[in-house]
Amino acid sequence: MRLLSLLIVSLYGRTVALFIFIPIGMGSITVEASTKIILESGFDAFISPPNTRSNPMSKFNTIPSQKQSNLAGGISYCNDAKHELAISVLSSTLSNDFFYESENTRVQSLESLSQKLIVDNEAEFVAKCAIYARHHANLRSVSHVLGVSLCENASGSGYVKPAIKRLSKRVDDMTELVSLWNLKHPKSMVPNGMRKAFREVLDEGRFDAYQLKKYEQKRAKVKLKDIIRIARPAKHLELYKQVLDVNLPKIEMLHTSIKPDTDIQETFVELAKAGKVWYMEALKMTPKILESYVSKETLKLWKEIILSKTLQSRSGVLPFRYYKAYIDLTQCQRDTVVDVIGQNELEEVKKKYLPLRVYREIRDILEAAFAQATRIEPLASEGEKVAILIDNSGSMSSNSLGLSLFSHALIMAKAIIENVGCSKSHLYFWSDICEEWESESNFTFEQISRHHAANRATYVNMPFHRLIEDAISVDKVIILTDNQMYAQNGNKETFKTYADIYKQNVSPDVKVLFWDLAGYGAGTPIKLDGDFLEISGLSDKLLSIVPKLWNDSDALVKEIESIEI
């Protein structure tokens, strides 16, 4: 037997009758408790508020929702396609799989977004996004994906040839574009727009014999001579005949000149004096050049290259490379120490081990070059304070470009702190706990190397609890994470929930930046408004974009649209 209760309630301006059945023998459950159970179990299943109801006059033509799910399993909100592609471009290093998303999934997302825009007569914007990625963000692979997408979907639009021309910044951009096309269309010829673009690039004489030889790619599936045959240039035929005949003059490059029986430092000095050492080559080969006892001449020439603003600007090197060079050098030193343990000859140790004084000087040079590369408009105005909240949970151990996402977060934090100032910055590491990192000096590479992502859960309420408990009043909050923005309860409350509490209790005018380093999924974790901003990706270009986005959420799209084709 059951007890029937009638409850009359008013919801959303309407009177509703609820019949509640309470089994006999459950006397401890009151009518109020039963009502609470029903309401908590999803009352929307019975009645929807007016702003979420479908059009009562339409069965199929309903009102679309902005809500969707992201790859972390939480609520996400759709951007329009332009904003989505713009931020996806800066999120796409395409270096390897992440914790939540594979590289192939990211490529498919880029292709889908670009195709949608092209169908909507926005091929020009896709072309500009590709150019922006290649020339402004120094991201190669994503520009190739968008270039091929233009060839597939925008033939006849007038944007394929000029875009492919601009994307052919280096010789191997052409071979990469053809390789991607062949991979997707193994039985189709290279499209005419791509062929014509290559022909114009080669007729311009954009690349000299040295550059052609450097990217000859004799062992690759698509070789430089294949590009010559595809393009059929009408000028500089003697030069290109040398490519076809595999008869280009040999060139000296540092990494190809080093042989087992050669002295690396002597080779470096000789080539550096002749101006034949490329910036990226000098940076990436830092450990090999400087791993053992260094002559003053070697260190002087290496320093001149690394600190050259002209060479640095031309190289388009991403800032994380400086930290990577430091880590690789540090590892070489550790290996050397292990190698000489047990040897009694002091002179042998001196030959293999870099003196601490020189090691520190190299570190300081790399940090100075990093500071040059990341010199941006400060993220905070004069007198403002910033809290940087870095996710160090388990998923941040995912690797990208040879470093963990956590290391990338620390590198970005270093760039921010150097532009804001240590005295104005509060740095926190958070997962299912939150700890403040305190330092009166700059956040150095050495200090970064001591920290690692913990194998812990991720509760974004923790850093806000800490800020509230300690009554830390700041003007800007920057959250560096990989799409983790929820608390430990099951309500899927976003970081905005806790940021709002912080605003109400501590700092009413605070602005919050959510920086998704991996760019997982689509959409944003919240509906963004004036004081809340989201960006994603690993590109340092974002550091110069953020100050503009504080004032204009369309700043990135506008910057891309300003590119001339």
Query: What is the DSSP secondary-structure string of 383-400?
Result: T--EEEEEE-SGGGG-EE
Contact present, 493 and 528 (Cβ < 8 Å): no
- pLDDT of the residue at 540: 67
> What is the distance between the alpha carbons of residues 419 and 427, in angstroms, rounded to a whole number?
14
The tokens describing 77, both together, are 């909100």
pLDDT digits (tens, 9 = 90+) for 213-222: 989 998 899 9
Residue 143 has pLDDT above 70, yes or no: yes
- Backbone angles phi and psi of 437, in degrees to 5: -100, 120
The tokens describing 489, both together, are 């309860």
Residue 331 has pLDDT above 90, yes or no: no
Tell me the average pLDDT across 229-237.
Answer: 96
How many CA atoms lie less than 13 Å away from 177 in the CB half-sphere?
36
pLDDT digits (tens, 9 = 90+) for 48-82: 333 333 343 433 333 333 444 444 444 444 557 88
Least confident of 18-32, 97-111, 405-419, 420-434: 18-32
> What is the distance between the alpha carbons of residues 107 and 202, in angstroms, rounded to a whole number?
29
Rounded to 5, what percent of the chain is helix, strand, coil? Answer: 50, 10, 40
How many CA atoms lie less than 13 Å away from 167 in the CB half-sphere?
35
Q: Could you tell me where the beta strands, DSSP code E, fall in 358-438?
A: 386-391, 399-400, 403-404, 425-430, 434-437
The tokens describing 438, both together, are 């305190």
Tell me the average pLDDT across 495-524.
Answer: 78
Tell me the average pLDDT across 491-508.
Answer: 82
- pLDDT of the residue at 525: 37
Give the torsion sign (CA, 389, 390, 394, 399).
Answer: positive
The tokens describing 290, both together, are 């400087």
pLDDT digits (tens, 9 = 90+) for 170-197: 999 999 999 999 999 998 999 999 999 9
- Of the pLDDT bands very low, low, confident and very high (cuts 50, 70, 90), residue 432 is confident
> What is the distance between the alpha carbons of residues 146 and 126, in angstroms, rounded to a whole number?
7
Residue 487's closest CA among 428, 436, 432, 427? 432
Q: How far is CA 283 from the centre of its chain?
A: 21
Tell me the average pLDDT across 478-498.
Answer: 70
> What is the distance between the alpha carbons of residues 443 and 451, in angstroms, rounded to a whole number?
12
Contacts 24+ apart (CB under 8 A), 114-118: 114/85, 114/146, 114/149, 114/150, 114/153, 115/149, 115/152, 115/153, 116/81, 117/81, 117/82, 117/85, 118/149, 118/150, 118/153, 118/154, 118/157
Contact present, 543 and 416 (Cβ < 8 Å): yes
pLDDT digits (tens, 9 = 90+) for 202-213: 999 999 999 999
- What torsion, rounded to 10 degrees, do the Cα atoms 18, 24, 28, 32 define? 10
Contact present, 137 and 89 (Cβ < 8 Å): yes
User: Any idea which residue has 């949608």 for tokens?
Assistant: 116
Alpha-carbon distance values, 73 to 228, 425, 443 (Å): 48, 32, 34
> What is the distance between the alpha carbons of residues 84 and 522, in angstroms, rounded to a whole number?
7
Residue 301 has pLDDT above 70, yes or no: yes
Residue 129 has pLDDT above 90, yes or no: yes
> What is the distance between the alpha carbons of residues 116 and 123, in angstroms, rounded to a whole number?
9
> What is the distance between the alpha carbons of residues 343 and 356, in angstroms, rounded to a whole number?
19
Least confident of 58-62, 141-145, 196-200, 403-407: 58-62
Residue 559's closest CA among 210, 427, 544, 550? 544
How many beta carbons lie within 10 A of that of residue 347, not counting itself? Answer: 7
The tokens describing 404, both together, are 């963990």
Query: What's the start-to-end Cα distance of the chain, in Å?
Result: 78
Q: What is the pTM of this model?
A: 0.72
How many beta carbons lie within 10 A of that of residue 534, not counting itself? Answer: 22
